[in-house]
Structure 1
Amino acid sequence: MAELIWQPFGMTADQREVGLWTIQAGRYAAQVLTYGGILRSFTVPAGEETQDIVLGCETLAQYEAQDKYLGALVGRVANRIGGACFELNGKRYPLAANNGPNCLHGGVHGFNEAVWEAREENGALVLTHVSPDGEEGFPGRLDVRVTYTLTADGVLTVDYQAKSDANTLCNLTNHSYFNLLGHACGSLEGQRIQVWADAITETDENSTPTGTLLSVEGTPFDLRQPVEFLRGLAMEHPQLTLGNGYDHNFVLCRQPRSPMRLAARVTGGGLCLECFTTQPGLQLYTANYLDGTPGKGGASYGPRSAFCLETQAWPDAVHYPNFPSVVLSAGESYHHTTAYRVTAV
């Protein structure tokens, strides 16, 4: 069973106390902040040494100053809602447009800025948060529980649960940035990505889904066999130009007899990271808009210095009946699980 250690991490600008939890299991360790439920570090064995493969900030003030969602839990609705509004049961709900014409990652003050309640439970870290009715424009009180679990064989699991007292939207994810050569490496060179997906959801110039599914065949998005990140990013394609790199939802292939599908695998630096999920989509993001964000130990995080594997329902699903629904009905349970397994190659 993992060992959990708590220590203070400071006070937010509005005087909310934040704690840092360390989950230790064998040679693996994960640090999680109560601010934003942020995965601050994930330290894994790398030969005789260890490697921290998750980007993060040195101080709480740096986390509050950045807007890149480093390591954070995001919601109520991850990714984009086009037009920053939606209709539910005949009523229109306007939202904040915080990403061009889109509402992104839950709005101006999403779950990434919340200070979550935390407790240890059977060797796992349980975070809970209550989002009141009307917060960021979303209907219903939403009670959220996220559990971080780490095992000695390198599996970091994030389990998401939620319930609402009214019909609402819910689509939760974690926005960690990974680099298998170390959080301060600064480049994706030498790292290969494989994604089990036959299509992506097409986006327009505002990164808003158009409702069209594009086959990956013959494109830089064909990652069904391992591809060097830098090779894929160097290819020509209108969607890569619009996103300034990979910033797309991959439509994950169904895998029989298993609720947890293998979504992606990344290798590099003698390590292999595999991402498993119950979700139907994976947003692959190559940190295209990091801009010198200050990081741990004096590091500076620039463009394309990391990758995100954001498991999710498809973006803007509320506007496309053919997309998997993100509507959570009153009294029903939202439950999804994602696991990241890191091993030596």
Structure 2
Amino acid sequence: MEILKVLIGKFNNKKVESYNLRNSNGFGINALNYGAIITDILVPDRNGIIENVVLKYEDINSYEKNPSYLGALIGRTAGRIAKGKVELNGNVLSFDKNYGSNQGHGGINGFDKRFLDVKTNINENEGYIEFSYLSPSGEEGYPGNLKINLRYTITEENELKISYKAISDEDTLVNLTNHSYFNLSGNYKENILNHHLYIDSDFITEINKNQVPTGKIISVDGTPFDFTSPKTIGRDIEEEDYQLEIGQGYDHTWILNGGNDIKIRLYHKASGRQMDVYTNQNSVVLYSLNFPDDEKISYANRSAKRREALAIETQSPPIGENNIFAKYSILRKGEEYNKETIYKFSII
């Protein structure tokens, strides 16, 4: 294991540092002290060629705004909050509407826009980058002083473990995730439509035209959302389906089945790369990059294209109208928020 800290720029006169963590196989990650942003996940293909399998901006300065949230920590709450309002303990919390008529991904200046404290550790079998942050009460409208601890761990078995912990001195809302966009072809040699995807889920949450949950749960059986048997992402993505029409592709929440089995499997035949995802989160939002931003991405010297990558956001369901699913995001005073997602890479 080895780790290297590199100064790569400044935002608002604050140092932006990249922490580059590698195992003995060359597998590893690069992550910033700004937004805990993962800029690189470096994975060998079947020929031993190590390439990046997540979207990355060409210009480091693009991460200061990062409109597509590439690789970032999302919080305090991932996804949309319908109409920017939610009821907690009989009080209505109101948030800035930065996602059309809704609040989204923690607000205008969510955790993706914050500098975090960092410490690191390595040994023979694993190494980690640990981020910490104190979100003061009232930040982006959320109650409670919230202490968060985020750890990125890599192992000699080519695993990336993301562990989230948080505690608040008041009842509040917490729903943390990572917003990396995956493309296993390596350095985006092709889009994701030929990637095979499996999801251990029998249901999605219905969304309305504003892309917030209605509260209705829909069976995936017989729909384009059925990935209970592996299929290519592109097979059904252009089918006539009202839910697909709303999202202009996949931008939905799958309710994960229980147990400790693999929850998501992404496979790219040409490279041989496979990624298995394990998590104790109860759902996952998958977003097929239906609306790419204009910032240029690395390796290509061009703007990201539609369907270039797949965001895999393990989390609780976003909060819909009439407080739908809000209960899954409530963190009570003094209780510990404790979630983990593991991405295990292999060659098939």
TM-score bracket, shorter-length normalisation: over 0.9
Q: Distance in 1 between matches of 2:65 and 2:171?
A: 33
- Aligned to 1:230, the other structure's residue is in SS state coil
Equivalent residue for 2:24?
26
Deviations 1:253-279 (A, max 9, x none): 112xx3xx4221011031111111000
For residues 239-278 of structure 1, the aligned pairs below 5 Å read: 239-255=243-259, 258=260, 261-268=261-268, 269-278=271-280
Equivalent residue for 2:198?
194
Change in Cα spacing, 1:318 to 1:115, as seen in structure 2 (3 Å) is: farther
Q: Is the 8 A contact 1:118 1:128 kept in 2?
A: yes
Q: Partner letter of residue 17 of structure 2?
A: G
Equivalent residue for 1:60?
60
Q: Does 1:293 align with 2:292?
A: no
- Aligned to 1:37, the other structure's residue is in SS state coil
Equivalent residue for 2:100?
100
Normalised to the residue count of structure 1, the TM-score between the two structures is: 0.95
Post-superposition offset of 1:322 = 6.2
Q: Distance in 1 between matches of 2:148 and 2:250?
A: 30
Q: Partner letter of residue 311 of structure 2?
A: C
Equivalent residue for 1:75?
75
Equivalent residue for 1:147?
151
Equivalent residue for 1:37?
36
Change in Cα spacing, 1:191 to 1:71, as seen in structure 2 (3 Å) is: same
Q: Distance in 1 between matches of 2:134 and 2:310?
A: 30
Q: Partner letter of residue 223 of structure 1?
A: F
Post-superposition offset of 1:234 = 2.2
Equivalent residue for 2:2?
3
Q: Is the 8 A contact 1:204 1:210 kept in 2?
A: yes
Equivalent residue for 1:173?
177
Q: Is the 8 A contact 1:251 1:282 kept in 2?
A: yes
Q: Distance in 2 between matches of 1:328 and 1:147?
A: 20
Q: Does 1:121 align with 2:118?
A: no
- Provide the identity percentage: 34
For residues 191-230 of structure 1, the aligned pairs below 5 Å read: 191-230=195-234
Change in Cα spacing, 1:253 to 1:309, as seen in structure 2 (3 Å) is: same
Structure 2's unaligned 5+ residue stretches are none
Post-superposition offset of 1:320 = 4.4
Q: Runs (4+) of structure 1 moved beyond 4 Å?
A: 317-324
Normalised to the residue count of structure 2, the TM-score between the two structures is: 0.94
RMSD after superposition = 1.5
Post-superposition offset of 1:286 = 0.5
Q: Distance in 2 between matches of 1:78 and 1:278?
A: 16
Equivalent residue for 1:109?
109
- Aligned to 1:241, the other structure's residue is in SS state helix
Q: Does 1:313 align with 2:316?
A: yes
Q: Partner letter of residue 163 of structure 2?
A: D
Deviations 1:84-142 (A, max 9, x none): 01121122211011111111100000000111111113531100111110000000111
Equivalent residue for 2:336?
333
Deviations 1:208-250 (A, max 9, x none): 1101100001000011001111112122211011001000000
Matched positions, count:
339
Q: Is the 8 A contact 1:184 1:301 kept in 2?
A: no
Q: Is the 8 A contact 1:251 1:280 kept in 2?
A: yes
